[in-house]
Amino acid sequence: MNGSLLFQAFIYLAAAVIAVPIAKRLGLGSVLGYLLAGVVIGPFMLGFVGQEGEDVMHFAEFGVVMMLFVVGLELEPSLLWRLRQPILGLGGLQVLVTSLVFAGLGMAFGLAWQEAVAIGMTLSLSSTAIVLQSLAERGLLKTEGGQSAFAVLLFQDIAVIPMLALFPLLAAGGSAAAEHHDDGHASTTLIASLPPWAQTLAVIGAVAAIIVFGRFLVRPALSAIAQTRLRELFTAAALLLVIGIALLMSAVGLSPALGTFLAGVVLANSEYRHELESDIDPFKGLLLGLFFIAVGASIDFGLLFAQPLLIAGLVVAIIAIKFAILFGLARSFRLSLDQSALVAFSLPQVGEFAFVLFSFARQEGVLTAALTDPLVAAVALSMALTPLLLVINERFVQPRFGTRAAEARPADAIDEENAVLIVGFGSFGATVGRLLKANNIRTTVLDIDSDRVDLLRKLGLKVYYGDASRHDLLASAGADHAKILVIALDTPEKTMNLVHTAQKHFPHLTIYARAFDWNDAQDLVRAGVDHVYRESVDTALRMGAEVMQTMGFRAYQARRATQTFLHHDEQSMHELVAHRDDQAAYLTTARRRIADLEQLLLADLADADLDRDAGWDPDSLREEIRQQAGLSA
């Protein structure tokens, strides 16, 4: 193949740009799209990329490092501290039990114990990249199952370090640690020649350095850089920070991903958190995409076709065993059925560290190529299957929990027919619901946060768990007899989906929908929703009124002004909806926003009557009286 960098970049980007939107359209998630793109351009189909795949993968693994930095930024230290039990307990047990089971199986199949242990430890790991990306994309990271999955992944990241240290000992020769490894995960240690106590000290020193450095040096440094007002310089600083930490951690033999995660946590409270996040995000996304493509391209279809049964058997066995252990552990840690299923469906693949560990094990002479090659193929396939498993979980498994819970309490459906359905009980929906409850209006709530559902059920509310855009769930929640559907979901997409479902299956429902901005408010109005509430309007107007007051307006004048403005604003929106042609749909969201804002400002200018209340304004009366009295104006 043409080896030029630009050509390579073109192939990778083209594959991603074509495959990912298709996969997203089909509801499969971006990860599967990248993986399929990798398969297509890989050596076994189009052959655009070939041997360099593995190098690309090592390079792209830096995306994982960046991802953990971003994850760390979103995780405040207090939250991390609360996760200590799942990290050590659930994560520790998962690695231990899975390693032992696979090692036992390996020995049962006649492997030497050293080989079996190496394989067992390797297979116990899961893919941080695929799992976090997939969960984040589905908005599941903040659920209890998502947090547990994250805790397990975090422990695995830590566990890699002792594993790498253990492999040389498992080697028949049991000789020196490998110095010839360059994947950046470990082992390129500058401190390998130091005595053990000094190594330990260096590791502790490095971690302490990150914490102290992050707390006392990075903030003032970032503040100084921010003051230059050069955006790209801030990006450069963010990259410098991540790469520097990765290098430092590699130097002392720790996982760079772990180091940047730690740095992220340290900076989670800082005022630059969001800037750092948005600067690193595109790099992270691209590198991860590249990484997934490389995984797809590295699937050895030659080997797969040569030994289809062996590979398929391996994949099924690995996934089934890991699934069973994960599910069992999650249940024993008191996770509910649905959240346990989420953990088990998320983590049963083998992670990207396996590629590193297997090649490391081969170099160390622990394992032979005859053994690792089928395993590497199985690992890649198990990763490729993860997004599919999550789709299965989402479409076929999770729905059962919602309806089953409802069936378990059939009395609900009989004893009261609530006229109002509230979908989404976050802060918005909860405020609506509480107001209604305070005024004795009975409501039925649908939510997908199982913790919240449990709590609300305990408090005696009628709550259904599940994805409300499924019409059967709406039906079991009593949509046939309800009058009003309150949609308080947290994204415009989910809202629109539900609107379509409700209009199709329950046309008698009056829909009250929460909207986010002009754009989706207009979309909702166009979709035929009469009651659309932009979530920030009232708050913004109240704030504006108080600013007016501070600027010297009388309180009631400011209040009247906001009332008039709200009326005018609503009217403008409906006019805009009527005038907007379909071409606007092709404008990007950002362009549409600007175009809308322009229309709005023009409308504000045209409607000079915004300050009316002429009845309280004696000007015209005074003029008339003075004229009659023959006075000049």
Partner 1 sequence: MARVLVLFAHPALEKSRVNRRLLKALPKLPGLTFHDLYEQYPSFHINVAYEQALLTSHDTIIVQHPLYWYSVPPLLKQWMDLVLEHGWAYGLRGEALRGKQIFLVTTVGGPASSYTHEGFQKHTLRDFLLPIEQTTRLCRMHYLPPYVIYGTHRLNEDDLVREAVAYRRLLEWVHNHQLPFDGSATQSYATMNEAMAALAPEVMV
Q: Which residues bind partner 1 (CB under 8 A)?
A: 560, 563-564, 567, 612-616, 618, 620-621, 624
Quick one: 331 or 560, whose CB is closer to partner 1? 560
The CB-of-629 to partner 1 minimum distance in angstroms stands at 13
Q: Tell me the sheet residues that pair with 421.
A: 444, 485
Integer Cα distance of 577 and 618 in angstroms: 38
Nearer to partner 1, 219 or 568 (CB): 568
Residue with smaller CB distance to partner 1, 109 or 616: 616
Using an 8 Å Cβ cutoff, are 186 and 360 in contact? no
Distance (Å, whole) CA 10 – CA 48: 10
Side-by-side strand order, sheet with 420-423: 462-465, 443-447, 420-423, 484-487, 510-515, 531-534
**What span, in angstroms and rounded, lies between the C-alpha atoms of 256 and 160?**
11
CB of 544 to partner 1, least distance (A): 16
Toward partner 1, which CB reaches closer, 414 or 629?
Answer: 629
Evaluate the CA torsion angle 39, 384, 122, 70 in order and state its sign: positive
Choose between 395 and 554: whose C-beta lies nearer to partner 1.
554
* Smallest separation, CB 436 to partner 1 (Å): 16
Q: How far is the CB of 541 from partner 1 (least distance, A)?
A: 12
- The nearer residue to partner 1, 271 or 613, going by C-beta atoms, is 613
- Cβ proximity to partner 1, 358 vs 565, nearer residue: 565
Find the shortest distance in angstroms from Cβ 557 to partner 1: 13
Residue number with CB closer to partner 1 (581 or 619):
619
* Pairing, β 462-465 against β 443-447: parallel
State how far the alpha carbon of 228 is from the alpha carbons of 233, 279, 280, in Å: 8, 16, 19
Find the shortest distance in angstroms from Cβ 620 to partner 1: 5
Instruction: Determine the 3-state secondary structure of 469 from DSSP.
Output: coil
d(CA 572, CA 607): 10
Which 8-state DSSP code applies to residue 88? Answer: I
For partner 1, give the closer residue by CB, 404 or 567. 567
Residue bearing tokens 């729905």:
399
Other Cβ atoms less than 10 A from the Cβ of 385: the count is: 19
Write out the two tokens for 281: 């995000």
Q: Least Å distance between CB 76 and partner 1?
A: 41
Rounded to whole angstroms, the Cα distance separating 39 from 296 reads 5
Q: What are phi and psi of 465, to 5 degrees?
A: -100, 135
Q: How far is the CB of 563 from partner 1 (least distance, A)?
A: 4
Give whichever of 27 and 618 is closer to partner 1, judged by the CB atom: 618
Q: How far is the CB of 627 from partner 1 (least distance, A)?
A: 9
Residue type, 134: S
Radius of gyration for the alpha carbons in the chain, expressed in angstroms and rounded:
30
Q: In the complex, what is the shortest distance from the CB of residue 567 to partner 1, in angstroms, rounded to a whole number?
A: 7
Closer CB to partner 1, residue 530 or residue 613? 613
Closest CA to 405 of 362, 442, 448, 359: 448
Q: Residue ranges of the alpha helices (H) in 333-423?
A: 337-346, 353-364, 369-392, 398-408, 411-415
Which amino acid is it at 301? F
Residues 226, 58: Cα–Cα separation, whole Å: 32
CB of 613 to partner 1, least distance (A): 6
